[in-house]
């Protein structure tokens, strides 16, 4: 890659990841699979980005490309100023990943030995990192288990150890794949706090992949939703929720009149006597009110339905919702002034 292009791709100083138009085609005896088909992903310091998509969407492949584990067929990847294929050592020093949960820890080693090992990979003397080990163990709630052999830990504790092994490496960029898997409610809340703290106080950049939409909603500044190897939507979390918030209303009736059969042109869902109705715009809301009057319905209360990220995700990635997804993507790009690097997919 030409130096000028690289400079462009490296972007601003706080850019920790710039992946532009990444493509990965796996070739095997069964033929070709395009796992990633031109995805771009940026992460800056202090930012938490959610990477969402259904099974097989290409998330893990993209992450492995960014880590330099899988070689992309096409595209540019820069990790904290280093190309993971041209300068693997420099890139490796900047990024740590929690992939496939607890499978990346050494089950015969104790919790502390695991941490020393991973600190050693970062070039530090394992015997000199005990203070930091204690701090990391405190943060993930494993202090009491420091001398326990990893294989004797519960599933949730193994997950915490896996996170601790990522944190001990002290890298500016972190990839966390399904970090809440197996965690109880309290541990999940602690993990969310820790992710937010890492971004806000330590200015790290994090990419979080999860099917746990509560966690994604609570910790992510932005989300990128992929399907079939392509980006279907990217947006700031607030804007994504807002985009869906304005279109759905919950009505309570004093009198329902003929309303159950009179709202055919709207998307409706009854919950007992309550009605959720989705309208595309303000004009349609006005039409809805007219229609309700025509049905002799008396509305007792009307409120906007809080958008559920899980439902938004399904709507966007559902095959029948492709148009909605594309529309959403266009709206989002139109309004996303921060996303100006020319790396839209």
| 30 versus 337: smaller Cβ distance to ligand ATP | 30
| Binding of residue 207 to ligand ATP (CB under 6 A) | no
Give 57 or 316: the residue with its C-beta nearer to ligand ATP: 57
Q: Is 29 in the site for ligand ATP (CB under 6 A)?
A: no
Among 40, 44, 61, 159, binds ligand ATP (CB under 6 A): 61
Please, which residue, 112 or 222, has the CB nearer to ligand ATP? Answer: 222
Q: How far apart (Å, rounded) are the C-alpha atoms in residues 202 and 66? A: 22
Residue 141 CB, nearest distance to ligand ATP (Å)? Answer: 26
* Identity of the residue, 220 or 292, whose beta carbon is nearer to ligand ATP in the bound complex: 220
Binding span for ligand ATP by CB under 6 A among 27-35, 41-49, 155-163, 241-249: 27-35
Give whichever of 27 and 108 is closer to ligand ATP, judged by the CB atom: 27
Q: How far is the CB of 302 from ligand ATP (least distance, A)?
A: 38
Sole residue written with tokens 């930012």 = 47
Q: Are the beta carbons of 226 and 51 closer than 8 angstroms? A: yes
Shortest spacing between CB 212 and ligand ATP, in angstroms: 12
C-alpha distances out from residue 61 to 6, 177, 325, Å: 23, 12, 22
- Please give the helix or strand (H or E) that residue 51 lies within, else none: strand 48-52
CB of 174 to ligand ATP, least distance (A): 17
**Out of 3, 13, 28, 323, which residue is the one contacting ligand ATP (CB under 6 A)?**
28
Contacts for 54-59: CB closer than 8 Å, 24+ residues apart: 54/227, 54/317, 57/226, 57/227, 57/228, 57/229, 57/317, 58/24, 58/226, 58/228, 58/229, 59/177, 59/209, 59/226
Lookup result for tokens 């009198």:
255
* Least distance in angstroms from the C-beta of 61 to ligand ATP: 3
Q: How far is the CB of 59 from ligand ATP (least distance, A)?
A: 4
Q: How far is the CB of 63 from ligand ATP (least distance, A)?
A: 8
Give the CA-trace dihedral at 199, 138, 161, 88, to 10 degrees. 40
Residue number with CB closer to ligand ATP (66 or 332): 66
Place of tokens 């509560």: 214
CB of 85 to ligand ATP, least distance (A): 17
Q: Which of residues 31-60 bind ligand ATP (CB under 6 A)?
A: 33, 35, 53, 55-60
- CB-facing half-sphere around the CA of 36: CA atoms within 13 A: 27
Residue 192 φ then ψ, to 5°: -60, -45
CA distance 16 to 41: 11
26 touches ligand ATP by CB under 6 A: yes
Would the CA dihedral through 251, 254, 259, 260 be positive or negative?
Answer: positive
Instruction: Kindly list the residues in this chain that would bind ligand ATP in the complex (CB under 6 A).
Output: 26, 28, 33, 35, 53, 55-61
């Amino acid at each position: 890659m030409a130096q000028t292009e690289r400079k462009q791709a490296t972007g601003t100083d706080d850019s920790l990841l710039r992946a532009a138009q990444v493509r990965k085609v796996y070739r095997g005896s069964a033929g070709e699979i395009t796992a990633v088909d031109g995805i771009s992903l940026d992460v800056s310091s202090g930012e938490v980005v959610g990477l969402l998509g259904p099974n097989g969407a290409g998330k893990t492949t993209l992450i492995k490309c960014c880590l330099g584990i899988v070689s992309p067929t096409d595209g540019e990847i820069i990790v904290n100023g280093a190309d993971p294929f041209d300068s693997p050592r420099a890139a490796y020093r900047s990024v740590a990943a929690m992939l496939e949960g607890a499978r990346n820890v050494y089950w015969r080693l104790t919790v502390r030995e695991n941490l020393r090992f991973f600190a050693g990979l970062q070039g530090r003397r394992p015997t000199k990192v005990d203070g930091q080990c204690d701090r990391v163990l405190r943060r993930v709630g494993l202090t009491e288990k420091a001398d326990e052999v990893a294989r004797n830990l519960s599933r949730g504790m193994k997950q915490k150890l896996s996170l601790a092994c990522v944190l001990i490496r002290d890298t500016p960029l972190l990839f966390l794949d399904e970090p809440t898997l197996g965690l109880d409610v309290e541990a999940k809340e602690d993990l969310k706090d820790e992710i937010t703290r890492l971004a806000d106080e330590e200015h790290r950049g994090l990419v979080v992949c999860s099917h746990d939409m509560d966690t994604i909603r609570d910790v992510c500044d932005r989300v990128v939703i992929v399907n079939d190897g392509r980006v279907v939507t990217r947006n700031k979390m607030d804007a994504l929720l807002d985009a869906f918030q304005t279109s759905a209303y919950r009505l309570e009736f004093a009198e329902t009149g003929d309303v159950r059969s009179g709202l055919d042109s709207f998307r409706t869902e009854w919950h007992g006597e309550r009605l959720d109705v989705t309208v595309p715009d303000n004009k349609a809301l006005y039409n809805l009110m007219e229609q309700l009057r025509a049905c002799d319905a008396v509305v007792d209360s009307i409120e906007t339905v809080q958008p559920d990220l899980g439902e938004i995700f399904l709507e966007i990635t559902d095959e029948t919702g492709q148009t909605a997804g594309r529309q959403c993507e266009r709206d989002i790009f139109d309004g996303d002034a921060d996303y100006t690097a020319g790396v839209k997919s």
